[in-house]
Amino acid sequence: MKTYFIATAIVTAFASGVPALFLSSRHARYGQILASLGMVFAATMGLTGSALHFVSGQPEKLFIPWPVFSNPALGLDALSAFFLMPVFLIGALGSLYGLSYWPTRLKIASARTLPLFWGFLVSGMALLIYAQHALSFLLGWETMALAAFFLVVTDHQKADTRRSGLIYLIATHISTLTLIALFLFWQQTSGSFAFTPLARGVASSLDLHILFFLALVGFGLKAGIIPLHFWLPGAHANAPSHVSAIMSGVLIKMGIYGLFRILFLIPEPPFLWGNLLLILGAISSLVGVIFAIAQHDIKRLLAYHSIENIGIILMGMGMGLIGLSLQNSTWAVLGFAGALLHVWNHALFKSLLFFGAGIVVHGTHSREIDTMGGVAKRMPWTAAFFLLGAVAISGLPPLNGFVSELFIYLALFGSATSNLLPAMIVPVLAMTGALALACFVKVYGAVFLGSARSENAQKAHGPDWLMMTPLVTLGIASLGIGLLPALFAPLLDAVITQFLSPANLQGEALTGLTPLSWISAMGFGSLAAGFLVYLLLKRYKNKTQNAVTWDCGYSKPSATMQYTASSFAASIVLLFSWILRPRFFRHEIKKLFPDESHLHTHVDELVLDRIFEPMHRILKQISLWFHRFQQGSTQYYIAYILIVLLLMLASMLPFSEFSALTQ
């Protein structure tokens, strides 16, 4: 029964945007509304089917009468039900958001195709999660990949958008080719394309390492693990904001799901894998947040925070694998619980932040943080929910990010006494949280507080109810997990039990390993304290009198005298200049009374600008040098062929005969 709910949701999502293609431009708005209603229905069916699985606890298989599938092609278990929920939730909320953010009356050229590919994206992600066979998985994966490309290049009139889309397309097809190699090797090792756990002793140690390496590269490209993240900042920054939300909150988690699915099939993961994921997670989280601080584009900044949070998820996965390898169920449960819950949490608060940033961009017509300021006066509710998302992503109570990061901290601290690597990772995770907090203090202060720095910011307008509905829904969900984590512990236990069973480990329930009641008490206490501070500040503000402070001789202070986001983050950027390598562009002051001047800073992307671009220039120079041999003369080309044939014949001769011929 549950499988039919999910299958109906996938088909409905896939078809939701099709009716809009057959409507005229005059009635295109109705097609967009129909697509959103179809997506809401698909989400209702999908969430119902996933919830029913956790109620019954019994996995189900769905057979397809096609000779290619000798095994069940589709199926629902705890892992797939867990990952399906954010797919359908963000899919429905983003579709509603798009009705106002990307309306047909202003975006007639793309307002009909965007809902079409949105439906393809949601159905593709749901299908690959629902798959129990390599072929059905790849079908969903490629549907997701191509749909995401067309969504990224929705605003294809801009050169940056086209460039970002091309980079994404190259990266996603490298990922697909790697996964094809993975599943071919899986079939050679296990004897089947079905996702059935390997029996002990079937695969050699080398075979397991090859499987893990292919999975890490193929799924790591989609997840945005450093250094495989090069496509992510540009794609998230240039896509429409609700597309950025689903890509950051859900799509990159398909890489995490793929890693979980493959690791589920291996009963005895080597100890090396857990340590490698722990190191990659630490690097991704720290480098991601450092590069986020240096950004001026609000959406590119949020994109780098996606890399940071993928790193946090990898740390939890690494600790879970270390626990499995050392037969320590406590470490495994805490690590996997932290990783899985952070998958949900990041989907909620990162989608909330992208939706909020989209409202700001929609109102100010700019993504540049330094041109904003004072937006909270015109968008108070947007500012409030963006602040909630900022607190959540910084890992502070009483929001959901605190809970999942606490689980990972507990796993790291528990293993630190017997393993040096987790002890070294603890300060990295702590530094990541501190830098994330500093980054969002910068963003919130420069965007929402102070005075408007531009005319567009001065005239910014607030959102309608369609754009606010996702913010309210995601804000309540983030607060609910932070205040009542015990309600979600049974879902995590169901998934983790499925992971521990192949390793013959009996893990303790999450409620017995973590102080969930104390977390709730801390959350409610933090909420009450915050509300009390708000009331005191409001009362104090009403009693104070506004007056102009001493202004150093300026009769009329302007918005340019306040701190910008760049100046606020300058000390941190200089502290990490060894990796950021910032470039400063400034006008040299030569006159006693200089003209207006500007300061601009730029930080190159770690892989794309510093590795791929130089390699491209070198290859271009080599190609230009080789171009001299292409003269358009048939005689020259025949001579080249003759020379190559002679060299090939010479290489086939034994060395003794070749010496005799040359004497």
**Contact present, 421 and 281 (Cβ < 8 Å):** no
Query: 568 Cβ partners below 8 Å, 6+ apart?
Result: 441, 442, 445, 446
Q: Read off the pLDDT of residues 441-478 as tens digits, 9 standing for 90 and up.
A: 999 999 998 888 888 888 888 888 999 999 999 999 99
In a domain, 219, yes or no: no
Q: How far is 27 from 396, CA to CA, in rounded Å?
A: 47
Do residues 183 and 273 share a domain?
Answer: no
**Contact present, 93 and 110 (Cβ < 8 Å):** no
Do residues 530 and 612 share a domain?
Answer: no
Q: Read off the pLDDT of residues 72-92 as tens digits, 9 standing for 90 and up.
A: 678 888 999 999 999 999 999
Q: Read off the pLDDT of residues 519-559 as tens digits, 9 standing for 90 and up.
A: 999 999 999 998 898 888 877 766 656 666 666 655 566 77
Do residues 439 and 399 share a domain?
Answer: yes
Do residues 488 and 634 share a domain?
Answer: no
Q: 327: alpha, beta or left, given left = phi > 0 and alpha = psi -120 to 50?
A: left
In a domain, 616, yes or no: yes
pLDDT tier for residue 621 given thresholds of 50, 70 and 90: confident
Q: How far is 390 from 401, CA to CA, in rounded Å?
A: 10
Percent of the chain with pLDDT over 90: 56
**Contact present, 170 and 612 (Cβ < 8 Å):** no
pLDDT tier for residue 432 given thresholds of 50, 70 and 90: very high
Burial class (CB in 10 A: 0-12, 13-18, 19+), 332: buried
Do residues 406 and 443 share a domain?
Answer: yes
Do residues 252 and 288 share a domain?
Answer: no
pLDDT tier for residue 345 given thresholds of 50, 70 and 90: very high
Q: Read off the pLDDT of residues 43-77 as tens digits, 9 standing for 90 and up.
A: 999 999 999 988 877 777 766 655 555 566 788 88
In a domain, 236, yes or no: yes
Classify each residue of 264-289 as buried b or exposed e, where b means 16 or more C-beta atoms within 10 Å of its C-beta.
Answer: bebbbbbeebbbbbbbbbbbbbbbbb
In a domain, 487, yes or no: yes
Look-up: residue for tokens 């791929």?
612
How far, in Å, are 291, 430, 602, 605 from residue 581 at the CA level?
Answer: 10, 24, 9, 10
How far, in Å, are 75, 120, 182, 201, 202 from residue 190 at the CA level?
Answer: 19, 32, 12, 11, 7
In a domain, 551, yes or no: no
Instruction: Check the CA dihedral 475-477-478-483 and report its sign.
Output: positive
Domain that holds residue 183: 1-189+199-208+225-261
Q: What average pLDDT does range 305-310 have in this prediction?
A: 96
- Range with the poorest average pLDDT among 93-102, 288-297, 304-313, 445-454: 445-454
Say whether pLDDT at 662 is over 60.
no
Q: Which one-letter amino acid corresponds to residue 537?
A: L
Average pLDDT in the chain: 88
Do residues 173 and 243 share a domain?
Answer: yes
Find how far residue 498's CA is from the centre of its chain. 25
Q: Residue 637: its pLDDT value, please?
A: 81
Q: Provide the token pair at 114.
A: 């965007």
Q: Which one-letter amino acid corresponds to residue 64?
A: I
* DSSP-derived pairing of the beta strands 74-76 and 583-586: unpaired
* DSSP-derived pairing of the beta strands 599-602 and 583-586: antiparallel
Q: How far is 303 from 299, CA to CA, in rounded Å?
A: 6
Do residues 248 and 347 share a domain?
Answer: no
Q: Read off the pLDDT of residues 224-260 as tens digits, 9 standing for 90 and up.
A: 999 999 999 999 999 999 999 999 999 999 999 999 9
Instruction: Check the CA dihedral 398-310-336-272 and report its sign.
Output: negative
Do residues 234 and 352 share a domain?
Answer: no
Q: Tell me the H-state helices in 294-328.
A: 298-325
Burial class (CB in 10 A: 0-12, 13-18, 19+), 185: middle
Query: 628 Cβ partners below 8 Å, 6+ apart?
Result: none
Q: Provide the token pair at 439.
A: 């980054």
Query: 133 Cβ partners below 8 Å, 6+ apart?
Result: 69, 71, 72, 73, 74, 193, 194, 195
Do residues 350 and 239 share a domain?
Answer: no
Q: How many domains, in total, are found in the chain?
A: 3
DSSP per residue, 478-489: HHHHHH-GGGTH
Q: Read off the pLDDT of residues 557-590 as tens digits, 9 standing for 90 and up.
A: 677 777 777 888 888 988 998 898 888 777 677 7
Say whether pLDDT at 211 is over 90.
yes
In a domain, 462, yes or no: yes
In a domain, 134, yes or no: yes
pLDDT tier for residue 98 given thresholds of 50, 70 and 90: very high
In a domain, 545, yes or no: no
Say whether pLDDT at 381 is over 90.
yes
Of 61 and 41, the one with more pLDDT: 41
**Contact present, 353 and 386 (Cβ < 8 Å):** yes
- Among residues 473, 477, 481, 485, which one has the least CA distance to residue 514? 485
Of 556 and 279, the one with more pLDDT: 279
Helices 489-500 and 28-56, packing angle to 10 deg: 70
What is the rounded (10 degree) CA torsion for 196, 198, 203, 207? Answer: 50
Look-up: residue for tokens 């080249």?
640
Do residues 577 and 626 share a domain?
Answer: no
Q: Residue 520: its pLDDT value, please?
A: 92
pLDDT tier for residue 515 given thresholds of 50, 70 and 90: confident
Collapsed DSSP state (helix, strand, coil) of residue 337 = helix
Do residues 103 and 181 share a domain?
Answer: yes
Q: Residue 638: its pLDDT value, please?
A: 84
Q: Residue 488: its pLDDT value, please?
A: 93
